[in-house]
Structure 1
Amino acid sequence: MTRMTPFSNPLLLGFDTMEKTLERVAKAGDSYPPYNIERLAGAGETSDRLRITLAVAGFTEADLDVSVEENQLVVRGRQAEESERHFLHRGIAARQFQRIFVLADGMRVTAADLKNGLLSIDLDRPKPERLVKKINISARD
């Protein structure tokens, strides 16, 4: 039996990648590290600007990796275990993480900044020029 999805409608041409993207988003259920996404307002700007801020206390710049892979913003954190330290209680986990944000077409990362345990990643999407393309009709008899 074949699975019918909303994107299998014959009027939605080329949206099969959207379905795969939605499946990836649904699988990303981990909540570590916590994050905020905010819209940056500016007067008379010609682009949409966003900032993603992740709480990465205890991570240094060398422990973090930010990359864009196939329309996905991937943030990875890896802390090296310090074997010479002996904890009586360990409540702050030195845990690895990978956080993936799916980016819309045209989104680009403009900056990443680590300050006071918060990793801020700025993104923007320039407003596309409105393009109207006239298609000529040829008559064949």
Structure 2
Amino acid sequence: MRAYDFSPLLRTTVGFDRIEQLFRTLERASSENSYPPYNIVRKDADNYRITMAVAGFDEDQIEIVATQNSLKVSGKSEEEKDEVQYLHRGLASRSFAQNFELAETIKVVGATMENGLLHIDLVREIPEELKPRTIEISKPKGKGKLIENKAA
């Protein structure tokens, strides 16, 4: 695995202590197993959808846990009770755990499952205090007035 130096990216940032950790997590995730396959789609500026191919899993076998900055989707496969002799096994039915890093403003709003696809809907909710605002420039107090010095 190649080690990257992220310091040039961090030179002009303030308060982004978590960003290097995020880069390291993404670097690790790209080299790990990506089962089951998934898509991440931007529906519009504030809505996203993760779609995972979970053929062979029921809703009660899948667990979705959202924390402040991450989403974990895991599936627990039940072993087949009667012995089956497969001539070809192209459908994987192994257990899985998939983690997604979420921005602080991304919230999970729901999940549905249809035709072997798990859809997880996400929305960006920016709190009022985080929205851009214009800062007015004011003059310092006590300056700007000229007091005349009268000589007697």
2:73 is the alignment partner of 1:106? no
Q: Give per-residue Cα distances to partners, 1:98-117, cap 9 Å, x unaligned.
A: 11111111100011001110
2:40/2:51 contact within 8 Å kept: yes
2:80 is the alignment partner of 1:79? no
Task: Compute the RMSD of aligned alpha carbons.
Answer: 2.6
Aligned residue in 2 for 1:33? 36
Q: Give the share of equivalent positions with the same residue, in percent.
A: 36
Alignment of 1:59-98 (within 5 A): 59-89=57-87, 91=89, 92-98=91-97
Q: Which amino acid aligns with 1:31?
A: S
Aligned residue in 2 for 1:15? 16
Change (3 A) 1:130 1:93: same
Change (3 A) 1:100 1:80: same
Q: Which amino acid aligns with 1:13?
A: V
* 2:72 partner SS: strand
Q: CA deviation at 1:73?
A: 1.1
2:50/2:120 contact within 8 Å kept: yes
Change (3 A) 1:137 1:67: farther
Change (3 A) 1:116 1:134: same
Relative to the length of structure 2, the TM-score reads 0.73
Q: Which amino acid aligns with 1:131?
A: R
Unaligned runs of 5+ in 2: 142-152
Match of 2:52 among 51, 54, 63: 54
1:36/1:53 contact within 8 Å kept: yes
Aligned residue in 1 for 2:133? 131
| Greater Rg by CA | 2
Q: CA deviation at 1:19?
A: 0.7
